[in-house]
């Protein structure tokens, strides 16, 4: 199990000691990088994803500059508070200066997981570092410890879940997750390989219910993929009934503050779908049109397009076209609206390891106005589930 480490310290002897101890703990020498001041540390953090950052408490900001605890604290704040730098998995302070530890230890501990006191003549720091490396390796191994392959989440039982149940999957009987939520296990054979499926639907529509069922599913079944399917409303003149919407990102369009003058100041918290799934979805046009051509039942008048863009979510059904202007203000490329996508994305994004990849793919059953095309809802639910299944197959090839 390989881990990548960045040592930020201006003392070359100390860097070498830390490096040797990391190698003794099983870290590959080529996976250990070092920087001697804040500027180089920022470059390294922007260029690599690190599992461990070992940071000296007292650092120079650049080459030949005066060293200061404030430089190290600034670097930590940029990582942990401002989000200006990609965060390492673990951050540990390292110092050989007892005075610095006494003076700045509390501030550093608020931004790191621990501080090692480095003394070349003693073994305490070596033992702590060895335990830390072992813990990180175990955590990484656990990230790949999935219990199931694909979980379909829908908001409605009929028609959305029924579209999932119509897939060529060997679904079992309904079981209870508690709190009135039912789920089914399924087996799907792809390329001679057995994949374990789960499907479930919320007890009601809305962001909170979708987030809740997604969280339960992740905790119970640890799926590799979370896929939300079903129906949505189209936004904008480029969207037509039956189009498949790939929700590249989502947020709660109602999140923000109403001002004294009656205007609304939005504060969207956007969550992005997994890029690999979005990329695969872009190539599903032929799959979608083959489904359209062979579907028996009420369907749209024209074959579907696959549209990739933002899907806004909210706690209310939207039949007011004037609100579309608000969606476009929040993101000019918004193409759809639903009541659940953001809840699924938020729970998936915030879940602990092993973290699933996630995406919401829904078909447009109305144009978010008072004229609903209810007769094509079953078609929309089925095509979104069918295309999502093909995406899951592609992603899991060779897994």
The pLDDT, as a whole number, for residue 40 is 92
Domain tally for the chain? 2
Distance CA 33, CA 50 (A): 9
Q: 188 and 324 share a domain?
A: yes
Q: 123 and 191 share a domain?
A: no
Q: 179 and 102 share a domain?
A: no
Q: 22 and 135 share a domain?
A: yes
DSSP 397: T
Domain termination site, one of 94, 109, 143: 143
Q: 210 and 345 share a domain?
A: yes
- Give the mean pLDDT per block of 10 residues along the chain (399 residues): 88 92 92 92 88 88 83 83 78 84 78 81 89 85 82 94 96 90 94 92 88 94 96 88 95 74 71 93 96 95 94 69 59 84 94 90 82 82 97 84
> 289 Cβ partners below 8 Å, 6+ apart?
303, 304
3-state secondary structure of 87: coil
The pLDDT, as a whole number, for residue 218 is 94
Domain termination site, one of 119, 143, 167: 143
Q: 136 and 153 share a domain?
A: no
Q: 232 and 370 share a domain?
A: yes
Distance CA 149, CA 147 (A): 7
**pTM exceeds 0.85 for this model:** no
Q: 97 and 227 share a domain?
A: no
- Which of 143, 169, 160, 145 has the alpha carbon at shortest distance from 392? 169
Domain encompassing residue 24 = 5-143
Q: 239 and 115 share a domain?
A: no
Q: 71 and 158 share a domain?
A: no
We report the CATH number of the domain holding residue 362 as: 3.40.50.1580
Q: 138 and 189 share a domain?
A: no
CB contact burial 143-164 (16+ within 10 A = b; e otherwise): eeebebbbbbbbbbeebbbbbb
Domain termination site, one of 116, 143, 170: 143
We report the CATH number of the domain holding residue 73 as: 3.40.50.2300
Q: 69 and 166 share a domain?
A: no
Stated length of the chain? 399
């Amino acid at each position: 199990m390989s881990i990548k480490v960045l040592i930020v310290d201006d003392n070359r002897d100390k860097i070498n000691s830390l490096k040797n101890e990391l190698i003794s703990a099983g870290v590959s020498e080529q996976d250990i990088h070092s920087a001697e001041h804040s500027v180089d540390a920022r470059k390294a953090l922007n260029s690599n994803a690190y599992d461990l950052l070992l940071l000296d408490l007292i650092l120079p900001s650049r080459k030949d500059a005066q060293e200061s605890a404030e430089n190290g604290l600034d670097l930590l704040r940029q990582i942990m508070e401002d989000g200006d730098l990609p965060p390492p998995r673990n951050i540990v302070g390292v110092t050989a200066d007892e005075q610095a530890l006494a003076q700045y230890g509390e501030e550093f501990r608020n931004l790191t997981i621990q501080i090692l006191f480095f003394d070349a003549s003693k073994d305490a720091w070596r033992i702590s570092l060895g335990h830390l490396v072992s813990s990180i390796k175990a955590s990484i191994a656990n990230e790949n410890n999935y219990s199931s392959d694909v979980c379909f989440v829908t908001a409605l039982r009929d028609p959305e879940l029924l579209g999932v149940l119509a897939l060529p999957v060997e679904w079992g009987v309904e079981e209870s997750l508690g709190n009135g939520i039912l789920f089914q296990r399924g087996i799907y054979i792809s390329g001679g390989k057995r994949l374990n499926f789960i499907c479930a639907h919320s007890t009601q529509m809305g962001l909170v219910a979708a987030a809740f069922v997604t969280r339960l599913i992740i905790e119970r079944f640890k799926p590799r993929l979370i896929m939300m399917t079903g129906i949505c409303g189209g936004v904008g003149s480029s969207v037509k009934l039956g189009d498949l919407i790939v929700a590249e990102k989502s947020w709660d369009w109602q999140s923000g503050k109403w001002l004294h003058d009656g205007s609304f100041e939005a504060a969207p918290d956007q969550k992005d779908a997994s890029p690999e799934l979005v990329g695969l979805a872009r190539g599903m046009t032929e799959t979608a049109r083959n489904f359209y051509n062979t579907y028996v039942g009420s369907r749209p008048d024209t074959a579907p397009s696959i549209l990739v863009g933002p899907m806004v979510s909210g706690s209310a059904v939207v039949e007011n076209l004037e609100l579309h202007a608000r969606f476009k203000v929040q993101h000019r490329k918004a193409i759809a609206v639903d009541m659940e996508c953001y809840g699924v994305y938020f729970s998936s994004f915030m879940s602990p390891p092993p973290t699933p990849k996630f995406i919401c793919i829904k078909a447009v059953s109305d144009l978010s106005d008072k004229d609903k095309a209810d007769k094509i809802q079953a078609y929309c639910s089925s095509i979104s589930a069918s295309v999502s299944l093909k995406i899951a197959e592609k992603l899991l090839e060779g897994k």
